[in-house]
Chain A
Amino acid sequence: MDILRDLMFGFSVAMLPMNLLYCFIGVLVGTLIGVLPGIGPPAALSLLLPATFHVPPVSAVILLAGIMYGAMYGGSTTSILVNIPGEAASVVTCLDGYRMALQGRAGAALGISAFGSFIAGTASIFLLIFLAPTLAQFALRFGPPEYFSLMILGLSILVYLAKGSIVNALIMVCFGLLLGTVGLDPMTGVPRFVYKITTLMDGIGLVQIVIGLFGVSEVFLNVERTFKQEILKTKIRGLLPNREDWRRSIGPIGRGTVIGFFLGVIPGMSVVIPTFISYTLEKRLSKHPEKFGTGMIEGVAGPEAANNAASCGTLVPMLSLGIPTGAATALLLGALMIHGLRPGPLLITESPEVFWGVVASLYVGNVMLLILNLPLIPLWVKILKIPYHYLFPLILLFCIIGSYTTNNNPYDIIIMIIFGVIGYVMRKLDYEAAPLVLALVLGPIMENAVRRSLVISDGDFTVFFTRPISAFFLIAGLLILFSPLLLKKTRVSAELRAGEE
């Protein structure tokens, strides 16, 4: 049993006191971020990225991954208690979770979402263990053209699912790709779009862009009008779901896990869509679909399992192919590269301690979250009561510190502010930031792939279509992009997003 041996090795890495500490900090910060509406995992990841510069790569990834799935646990808390989703992935949980809270069953809802998340997390780790190495093995056959086409496919799916028009999302992709070219050209060393500004020599930092787009612009949106805060009125008692709750929830949890994990693996799906699909599925399967929206525990258990499984699923392409599929995994990839690791199919064999250590830490983190989450709920509720006029200067302060400490360069703060304004305008005009961030990270890798492909093929552009795997990815991507033109207004996301509003 090779896998067992590898896994034991992983646990020996994850159980090192320092890694345990980083895992703990990660899941704790993740839950906090999940609880606080208005600051999501991408912003949190980029805020903490500079803090991981001095630690070994494994610990850094353990910490950052902890934030990702910790947020999935935390997001449900606010959805259930105050009907405000802490994260987009917990929007569906509001529908029935908040109703349950109103009926005095907040405890059962919180309990089942924690247990559901835990079960989903554990099961997906096993799926990850088997799927990631297989995928990496397969990806060894990929050359630059295959990588380029796969990235095009990933971006196409993300664009297809984005809010607003496809053209808008494509413009965001191009904007991100263009931003990625700023700085010295890695192949020839020629400065591009630098305009003699030294800060731009090394390129525009991912951290500054993400903090600006997700953190600062969110604050702008919140202060443009007088803000109101909902105050929690419900009481919480009995966190353990009863036997009847379990009987009704176990099916949704299982289905949610499978849906969440496999959709999470698909580039561009991220964690939000699986929750909607899980909710819709449970409603269809239920004998009482009309009761959904009135406090059905199935409507909490399924989506909550799905978002946790999906956050684990998104790690598969990142760890096995070196290709991030959303804004959060793009930042994880950034962290790997900052630490000098080469993400790609060889990561598992070249740096086994990173892959297996992170996998084992996922399990450790899930156990921690299950133990921590329920007793800490009173604390999260208190934090929710901090008035926003105290909270937003603090958020901005963290944004400043996060941008500054990446390079100790005050002009990085200016870059962050510029992207804060850009992000604000983008949101006003219905442009989504996720395609931009993914394109920004993929940009340099894609450019490298295109240029190397053309060198291999002697300048022949058909190389992307004559190699079968590459052609498959590329054609699939193009089909997805152009499908809305052929099938009028049947975009899945339109329906899903409509439910989100």
Chain B
Amino acid sequence: MGEMRDPGAGFFPLLIGLVTGLLALIALVQSLREKKEINEATAPRSTEPFRWWNLVVISAALIAYALTLTTLGFVINTFLFMLILLKVIEPQTWKKAVLASLITAVTSDLFFNVLLGAQIPSGILGF
């Protein structure tokens, strides 16, 4: 924490913490007061169904990509990632999906790893 004369590491976080707590309190009071208005404001804007499944699939695919990147490698991961998203979200034919994924995986590897010299792991393919 330190003293006022020489504020230490905990000083600034404490200050922000106090302000945040205060703001949260104000926000709570405000939202309790405005309860009715909010219900009207969030009336359905669109008649389309809410496809929460898409969000789960994409998040899972992203996490899987992060966790397997060092073992499987950039090319394989990118291929699988593209394939999953193209097949699940707005299903394409297998031929289109595989082709698009393959092109993306190879060109992005050439562009980032070969041309720009980024060091994204190549994993089990080893090139």
A to B CB contacts below 8 Å, 30 in the list: A51-B118, A165-B30, A167-B27, A170-B19, A170-B23, A171-B20, A174-B16, A178-B16, A178-B17, A185-B9, A223-B58, A224-B50, A226-B48, A226-B49, A227-B90, A389-B90, A394-B104, A396-B81, A397-B82, A397-B104, A400-B62, A401-B108, A404-B120, A405-B112, A405-B118, A408-B119, A420-B59, A424-B55, A450-B11, A460-B4
Q: How large is the interface on A (under 10, 10 to 19, 20 to 34, 35 or more residues)?
A: 35 or more
Q: Which of A345-402 contact B (CB under 8 A)?
A: 389-390, 392-394, 396-397, 400-401
* A57 and B125 alpha carbons, distance in the complex (Å): 35
Which of B59, B66, B104 has the most chain A CB atoms inside 10 A of its CB?
A: B66
Are A181 and B51 in contact (CB-based, < 8 A)?
A: no
Q: Which of A51, A411, A451, A460 contacts B7 (CB 8 A)?
A: A451
Please, how many angstroms separate the alpha-carbon atoms of A224 and B26 in the complex?
Answer: 31
Question: A454 contacts B4, CB within 8 Å?
Answer: yes
- Would you give the shortest CB distance from A430 to chain B, in whole angstroms? 9
Q: Give complex CA distance A404, B84 in Å.
A: 20
Please measure, in the bound complex, the distance between the C-alpha atom of A389 and the C-alpha atom of B15, giving whole angstroms. 45
From A8-16, A132-140, A186-194, give the one contacting chain B.
Answer: A186-194
Kindly state whether residue A455 has any CB partner on chain B within 8 Å. Answer: yes
- B100 beta carbon closer than 8 Å to chain A: yes
Cα separation A454 to B54 with both chains bound (whole Å): 51
Interface residue? B94 (CB, 8 A): no
In the complex, chain A residues whose CB is within 8 Å of the CB of B62: 216, 396, 400, 413, 416-417, 420
Tell whether A220 is near chain B: CB-to-CB under 8 Å: yes
Name the one of A190, A417, A458 contacting B59, with C-beta atoms under 8 angstroms: A417
User: Contacts A410-B67, A454-B5 known; A389 to B16 CB distance under 8 Å?
Assistant: no
Contact of A390 among B16, B20, B100 (CB under 8 A): B100
Instruction: Assess the A413–B4 pair: CB atoms within 8 A.
Output: no
Known: A178-B13, A413-B66, A451-B12. 7 other contacts (CB 8 A): A171-B24, A174-B23, A225-B46, A394-B104, A404-B120, A417-B66, A460-B4
B104 A410 Cβ-Cβ under 8 A: no
Q: Is the CB of B69 within 8 A of A413?
A: yes
A residues touching B (Cβ–Cβ < 8 Å)? 50-51, 54, 165, 167-168, 170-171, 174-175, 177-178, 181, 185, 187-188, 190, 192-193, 216, 219-220, 223-227, 389-390, 392-394, 396-397, 400-401, 404-405, 408, 410-411, 413-414, 416-417, 420-421, 424, 447, 450-451, 454-455, 458-461
Closest to B112 in A: A401
B92 with A389: CB separation less than 8 A: yes
Q: Please state if B54 and A224 are interface contacts (CB–CB under 8 Å).
A: yes
Question: How long is the Cα–Cα vector from A289 to B86 in the complex, in angstroms?
Answer: 48
Q: Which of B74-120 contact A (CB under 8 A)?
A: 78, 81-82, 85-86, 89-90, 92, 100, 104, 108, 112, 116-120
Bound form: Cα–Cα A167–B19 in Å: 11
- B127 touches A (CB below 8 Å): no
Q: Which of A174, A181, A400, A404 contacts B19 (CB 8 A)?
A: A174
> Which of chain A's residues has its CB closest to B91's CB?
A389
Interface of B with A (CB < 8 Å)?
A: 3-13, 15-17, 19-20, 23-24, 26-27, 30, 46, 48-52, 54-55, 58-59, 62-63, 65-67, 69-70, 78, 81-82, 85-86, 89-90, 92, 100, 104, 108, 112, 116-120
Task: Report whether A192 and B13 are in contact in the complex, using a CB–CB cutoff of 8 Å.
Answer: yes
List chain B residues, Cβ under 8 A from A181: 12-13, 16
Cα–Cα distance between A54 and B115 once the two chains are bound (Å):
13
B89 CB → nearest A CB, Å: 6
Q: Are A167 and B23 in contact (CB under 8 A)?
A: yes
Query: Could you tell me if A393 and B50 are in contact, using CB atoms closer than 8 angstroms?
Result: no
> Which residue on chain A has the smallest CB distance to residue B54?
A223
Q: Which residue of A171, A175, A193, A413 is within 8 Å of B27 (Cβ)?
A: A171
Using A178-B20, A410-B69 as known contacts, say yes or no to A188 and B12 having CB atoms under 8 A apart: no
B-chain residues with CB within 8 Å of residue A393 when the two chains form the complex: 81-82, 85-86, 104
Contact between chains at A404 and B7 (CB < 8 Å): no
Q: How distant is the Cα of A233 from the Cα of B108 in the complex, in angstroms?
A: 32
Contact call B66/A410, Cβ cutoff below 8 A: yes
A383 to chain B, nearest CB (A): 16
Residues of A within 8 A of B7 (CB): 450-451, 454-455
Contacts of A177 in B (CB 8 A): 12, 16
Tell me whether A219 and B9 are in contact in the complex, defined as CB-CB below 8 angstroms, given that A225-B49, A397-B82, A401-B120 are known contacts. no
Verify B4–A459 contact, CB threshold 8 A.
yes
**Are B63 and A417 in touch, CB under 8 angstroms?**
yes
Q: Which residues of A contact B85 (CB under 8 A)?
A: 392-393, 396
**What is the chain B residue whose CB lies nearest that of A176?**
B16
Contact status B100-A224, CB under 8 Å: no
Q: With the chains together, A308 CA to B64 CA distance in Å?
A: 41
CA distance A396 to B23 in the complex (A): 34
A167 to B29, CA, bound (A): 11
B9 touches which of A50, A187, A224, A461 (Cβ 8 Å): A187
A417 partner residues in chain B, CB cutoff 8 A: 59, 62-63, 66
Contact B82 A455 (CB under 8 A): no
**Complex contacts, B12 vs chain A, CB 8 Å:** 177, 181, 447, 450-451
Give the 4 A-B residue pairs with the shortest CB-CB distance, closest first: A459-B4, A413-B66, A389-B90, A185-B9
Rounded to whole angstroms, the CA-CA distance of A190 and B12 in the bound complex is: 13
Shortest beta-carbon distance, A320 to chain B, in Å? 26
Closest to A222 in B: B54
> Complex Cα distance A450/B6, Å?
10
**Contact: B67 with A451, CB < 8 Å?**
no
Q: Do A397 and B23 contact each other (CB < 8 Å), given the known contacts A223-B58, A454-B7?
A: no
| Complex: A102 Cα to B88 Cα, angstroms | 37
Contacts of A424 in B (CB 8 A): 55
